[in-house]
Amino acid sequence: MADPDGQVIVGLEVHCQLDTKSKLFCGCSTDYRSDGPNTHVCPICLGLPGAMPALNKRAIEYAMKVAKALNCEILNESEFSRKNYFYPDLDKAYQITQYDKPLAEGGYLEIESDEGGERKIRLTRIHVEEDPGRLVHMGNVERGKYSLVDYNRAGIPLIEIVSEPDMRSPKEARKFLNKLRATLEYLNVFDSEKEGSIRVDANISIKGSERVEVKNITSYKGVEKALTFEVTRQKNLIRRGQKIERETRHYLEARGVTQAGRSKEQEHDYRYFPEPDLRPLRVRSWLDGIVLPELPDARRERFMAEYGCSLNHARTLTGELKLANFFEKVVASDKRGLSPLAATWIADTLKGELNYRDMSLDLVEPAAMTGLVLLLKAETITDKSGVEVLRVMLDQRLKNEPAETPDAIVKRLNLAKTPGDTGAITKAIDEAITENPKALDDYRAGRSGALNFLVGQVMKKTRGKADPAELNRLLTGELKKREA
Amino acid sequence: MAGTITFEPIDRYNAFLATCNNASHGSGKLAGVPVAIKDNISTKDIETTCASKILKGYIPPYDAHVINLLKAEGAAIVGKTNMDEFGMGTTTENSAFGPTLNPCDTSRVPGGSSGGSAAAVAAGMVRMALGSDTGGSIRCPASFCGIVGLKPSYGRVSRYGLIAYSNSLEQIGPLGKTVNDVSTLMSVIAGYDRHDTTSQDKPYNHTPAAEIKGLKIGIPQEYFGNGVDPDVAGVVKKAIGRLEELGAVTVPCSIPSMEYALAAYYVTTSCEASSNLARFDGVRYGPAPDTKKPWHDAYTEVRSAGFGTEVRRRILLGTFALSSGYYGKYYAKAQVARANVRADFNRIFKDVDVIAGPTMPTVAFKLQEKSDPLSMYLADILTVPANLAGIPAISVPCGKSEGMPVGLQIMGRMFEDERVVDVAYAYEQAVN
């Protein structure tokens, strides 16, 4: 019997839209998202009778950039094939893709393993293909009256990156995806913020059992969620002594569950054969002309060396192109001086606050962040006030209100701590102790929680302006006095 | 120079599916020349059906590349010609809109699949026409109707806008009463087109020359063997004799790979067709499906009603041959056979300049004479090899048998279209 606590094995097939200006086989613009349906179409991407594909050279260059960055081997000759199946969003009733001769094979991507070190995830292949159109269902898919077809997406260039089954947990799968996204962004061939720009199919098994393919994962978080669900489902089946069926399941994003897909009878036979309208690709010689930019791993090492960032901060900061660029702008005026504080404040605080608001980093001015870091560095405000200032800054940008500088916010909210002026703190300490006689008793009884409680009370009264070190010193002194 | 011409022919032979009564034209090499277009070549604003019900009502929003070229040289596009549905046939009987009749004898077929184009030229309704040739579809009707037809080297003419039947084999090509007309039309349509990346940058700027002294002509034994009507073979041998009188030298040769040529041809075309024709689902053009039904049921209905018997047969054959587990047995093997045919031609062309033989094994059949598909397929045996090899081949009238025209076929080296035109021209000049 299979072991329910057996090793989890995950492999991914990641489809990414390449951020070219025109489609893979015609001149139509790829910038369709804000326009009406069927406005970015022509005889070629509509699959009108007689129209023929002409390959977009830039798309191949982009794909080769990715292949080179991921250490793949470009095949001496690759070719396009037709994948035949009927579906209303597939204009030609076949998708032009690559089958037994993909653009590139092999390669690997390094991720941080669950144990902390770096781990190589091997890649099987990278191939180039066209995106199909999209169905827009009027109401629910099952019960809606009808569906409309939008071919704006038809012919958008995709690369499919197939990994070996080298990941050992849903978390590693998420890390793989994040690292892949970062790499593609650094290469400037992919825009992760475009809706639907990445789609993932995952193969997952528990060692000793059949594998299950989970399709239709469309978000970064979705990968971890879908796989976590699958691990639980499969382990439960094994525990109950049942067998895992080899099957295709669909991830339902809204419910966070996977659902059994089509049955065996309806499984597709794609009848692949070479696309006769396109010539074989012999592009290996282009590799020499491809110059790679600094990639996430190199930048991470540089951040540690140049800015003295910790491994964790360097990893977080360089894990997203925009965040890394933002960080470098914020500390530009004083690299060594600002980096330690800026790293923490950007990698931990800012990132958390942005996530909480589901807000894009684009809305934050690096100069404003520099201003905040300078206030913190000068110890003009406490960390707690710093968070408050940051929140005001973000909320103003989010609500499209006039943006105040951090200085102005500090002034308006009277958040500056006044060095040496201990009057307000002393007064607050006095009040806090008087108002909470039980805390004093507890303190006397040696219960350490009492001190923390009182610190909290004083912070509340001073609205966070009290310098924590100062407060600790004064409060302890006062309590000692009263103890005596 | 630019203007319109009136085109209101009495179409006794059902050669046309659509005509443009007032066809506009520009100036240029073909200024005001009426040209008929096979109905599988997309023409902007003119219904283009491939003689199929499934495309009834389809009006392309764009012109095929060859149509742009014709218009740029001033030609008047006067109509769309009848054909075997999607090019699948040798008689033009497989049209959803009724067969075309042979102007030389209306009880006979004009050949196919470009039968409408050939009949329109033979009947004098137009001076020249465009056809397409996947396995003989220009040369067969040219032969049966007693006119000239050229299948260009693969890649010499852009296929952009040609509604695909079998992409890896077919070419658009000219039909005309004289070699000169065919050559002129070829000079307009040939050349590279960035929309067809299988096209070659090999324009055709040629004036036919009748000089063939010292030319070596290969005579393949297979072109005069079993299945070839002895009378037809005799007429063609006599024609080759004329070429010898003009100074050409004949050399016997053999194409052993022809044994597998027809099988390779029908497997390849059926496979490619099954994929090409899958897009006809009623979603974007053609007869609309019943939207109240689930989409797969609606597709089945539209496709069952829209395609004719022969087309359905080839779609099913191709779908089967490409199925998982059969690809290697059929499609991959067919490609090996193709490579063998190409190798045979390459070998022969080391010793000879052109290859000559009959275009068709017989003269035009009677209407409905060929009722079983297999005997019909066998009629393509002499034309299919040139498509498999991609080489140029021309059919030029060379006499009569049973009172019907016989075609002499000249095949040449890859991209030596000019040479096959010259040989045909030399023969034509010698006999006229």
Place of tokens 């997406």: A153
Show the domains of chain B with their CATH numbers.
1-432 (3.90.1300.10)
Which residue, among A391, A412, A414, has the nearest Cα to A462 in the 3D structure?
A414
Which of 139-198 (A) contact B at CB < 8 A? 146, 149
Question: Chain B within 8 Å of A57 (Cβ-Cβ)?
Answer: no
User: B-chain residues within 8 Å CB-CB of A273?
Assistant: 271-272, 275, 322, 327, 331
Asked if the C-beta of A52 comes within 8 angstroms of chain B's C-beta atoms, the answer is yes
**B162 → closest Cβ in A50, A93, A273:** A50
Q: Tell me the count of A-B CB pairs closer than 8 A.
A: 103
- For A55, the closest of B166, B197, B322 (CB atoms) is B197
Residue A91, number of CB atoms within 10 A of its CB:
26
Q: Do B60 and A50 touch (CB under 8 A)?
A: yes
Contact call for A48 and B331, based on CB within 8 A? no
Cross-chain residue pair A52–B60, CB shorter than 8 Å: no
Instruction: State how far residue B303 is from chain A, nearest Cα, in angstroms.
Output: 12
Rounded distance between C-alpha atoms, residue A476 and residue B54, angstroms: 91
Q: Distance (Å, rounded) from C-alpha A224 to C-alpha A227?
A: 5
Residues 6+ apart with CB under 8 A from A240: none
Beta strands B128-133 and B148-151 are unpaired
CB contact under 8 A, B275 and A94: yes
Minimal Cβ distance to A279: which of B164, B197, B323:
B197
Strand B354-358 and strand B404-412: the pairing is: antiparallel
CB atoms within 10 A of CB A58: 16
- Choose, out of B169, B279, B387, the residue to mutate when testing the contact with A (most A CBs < 10 Å): B279
Residues in chain A closer than 8 A to B273 (CB atoms): none
Q: What is the pLDDT of residue A1?
A: 58
Map tokens 């040529």 to a residue: B261
Q: Tokens 């990156």, residue? A: A161
Least Cα separation, residue A61 to chain B (angstroms): 18
pLDDT at A460: 84
The whole-angstrom separation of Cα B374 and Cα B372 is: 6
**H helices then E strands: how many in chain B?**
12, 13
State how far the Cα of A30 lies from the Cα of A173, in Å rounded to an integer. 29
Determine contact, residues B199/B159, Cβ cutoff 8 Å: yes
Q: Tell me whether residues B61 and A94 touch, CB distance under 8 A.
A: no
| Percent of chain B clearing pLDDT 70 (strictly above) | 100
CB of A84 less than 8 A from some CB of B: yes
Q: Is B24 a catalytic residue?
A: no
On whether the CB atoms of residues A436 and A447 are closer than 8 A, the answer is no
A46 to B284: CB separation less than 8 angstroms, yes or no: yes
Using CA atoms, how far residue B88 sits from A284, B133, B244, B280, in Å, is 40, 11, 37, 16
Task: Name the residue among B160, B281, B322 with its Cβ closest to that of A271.
Answer: B322
Distance, CA of A466 to CA of A483 (rounded, Å): 23
The separation between CA A463 and the C-alpha centre of its own chain, rounded to angstroms, equals 35
Cβ neighbours of B195 in A, within 8 Å:
52, 54
Q: How many CB atoms lie within 10 A of CB B209?
A: 13
- Would you state the structure tokens that stand for residue B205, as one six-digit string? 């700027």
Q: How many CA atoms lie within 13 A of A179 on its CB side?
A: 24
Question: For A86, which of B163, B272, B299 is closest by C-beta distance?
Answer: B299
What was the pLDDT predicted at A265? Answer: 44
Return the ∠ at Cα B267 (arms to B263 and B268), rounded to 5°.
115
Taking phi over 0 as left and psi of -120 to 50 as alpha, with beta for the rest, B221 belongs to alpha
Beta carbons within 8 Å of A481's beta carbon, 6+ residues apart? none
CB contact under 8 Å between B274 and A271, yes or no, is: yes
Q: Do A93 and B281 touch (CB under 8 A)?
A: yes
The Cα of A128 is separated from the nearest Cα of chain B by a number of Å equal to 18
Q: How far is B400 from chain A (nearest CA, A)?
A: 37
Catalytic residue among B95, B137, B183, B401: B137
Q: State the distance between the two ends of chain A, measured CA to CA, in whole angstroms.
A: 70
Residues paired with B6 in a beta bridge: B22
Nearest residue, CB atoms, A92 vs list B166, B195, B279? B279
Task: Tell whether omega for the bond before B113 is within 30 degrees of 0, i.e. cis.
Answer: yes
- The answer to whether the Cβ–Cβ distance between B278 and A55 falls below 8 Å is no
User: On the CB side of B113, how many CA atoms lie within 13 Å of its CA?
Assistant: 28
Q: What is the pLDDT of residues B68-86, one digit of tens each?
A: 999 999 999 999 999 999 9
Written as tens digits, the pLDDT of chain B (432 aa) is 689 999 999 999 999 999 999 999 999 999 999 999 999 999 999 999 999 999 999 999 999 999 999 999 999 999 999 999 999 999 999 999 999 999 999 999 999 999 999 999 999 999 999 999 999 999 999 999 999 999 999 999 999 999 999 999 999 999 999 999 999 999 999 999 999 999 999 999 999 999 999 999 999 999 999 899 999 999 999 999 999 999 999 999 999 999 999 999 999 999 999 999 999 998 888 888 887 888 889 999 999 999 999 999 999 999 999 998 899 999 999 999 999 999 999 999 999 999 999 999 999 999 999 888 888 899 999 999 999 999 999 999 999 999 999 999 999 999 999 999 999 999 999 998
What CA–CA distances, in Å, run from A442 to A426, A449, A450, A454, A459? 21, 8, 6, 11, 19
Q: What is the pLDDT of residues A287-329, one digit of tens each?
A: 999 999 999 999 999 999 999 999 999 999 999 999 999 999 9
Rg (CA), chain A: 28
3-state helix, strand, coil in chain B (%, to 5): 35, 20, 45
What CA–CA distance (Å, rounded) separates B160 from A63? 27
What fold is seen in the domain A423-483? Arc Repressor Mutant, subunit A (1.10.10)
CA of A95: which chain B residue's CA is closest? B275
Interface test with A, best of B39, B195, B303, B311 (most A CBs within 10 A): B195
CB contact under 8 A, A82 and B275: yes
Residue A24: strand, helix, or coil: coil
Please say if B29 is a catalytic residue: no
Alpha-carbon distance B333 to B260, whole Å? 10
Under an 8 A CB cutoff, do B275 and A50 touch?
Answer: no
Residue extents of the structural domains in chain A? 8-289, 296-413, 423-483
Is-catalytic flag, B107? no
Decide the pairing of beta strands A212-217 and A247-252: parallel
Q: Given this model, what pLDDT does residue A117 score?
A: 83
Which of these is catalytic: B52, B113, B153, B401? B113
Residue with tokens 């006044």: A418
Instruction: Kindly state whether A269 is in contact with chain B, defined as any CB-CB distance less than 8 angstroms.
Output: yes
Report how far residue B376's alpha carbon sits from residue A309's, in angstroms, rounded to the nearest whole number.
Answer: 79
pLDDT, one tens digit for every residue, chain A (484 residues): 578 889 999 999 999 999 999 999 999 999 999 999 999 999 999 999 999 999 999 999 999 999 999 999 999 999 999 999 999 999 999 999 999 999 999 999 999 987 878 899 999 999 999 999 999 988 776 677 788 999 999 999 999 999 999 999 999 999 999 999 999 999 999 999 898 899 999 999 999 999 999 998 998 889 999 999 999 999 999 999 999 999 999 999 889 999 987 655 456 799 999 999 999 999 999 999 999 999 999 999 999 999 999 999 999 999 999 999 999 999 999 998 999 999 999 999 999 999 999 999 999 999 999 999 999 999 899 898 999 999 999 999 999 999 999 999 999 998 887 665 567 788 888 888 888 888 888 888 888 788 888 888 888 888 777 778 778 888 888 888 877 6
List A248's β-bridge partners, or say none.
A213
The interface pTM score, or ipTM, of the predicted complex is 0.96
Say how many C-beta atoms besides its own lie within 10 A of residue B234's C-beta. 15
Q: For an interface test with B, give the residue of A100, A262, A271 to mutate (most B CBs within 10 A).
A: A271
CA A438, CA A382: separation in Å to the nearest integer? 29
CB A247 within 8 A of CB A240: no
Using a CB-CB cut-off of 8 Å, the residues of chain A touching B164 are 49-50, 277
Which chain B residues contact residue A84 at CB under 8 A?
274-275, 278, 322
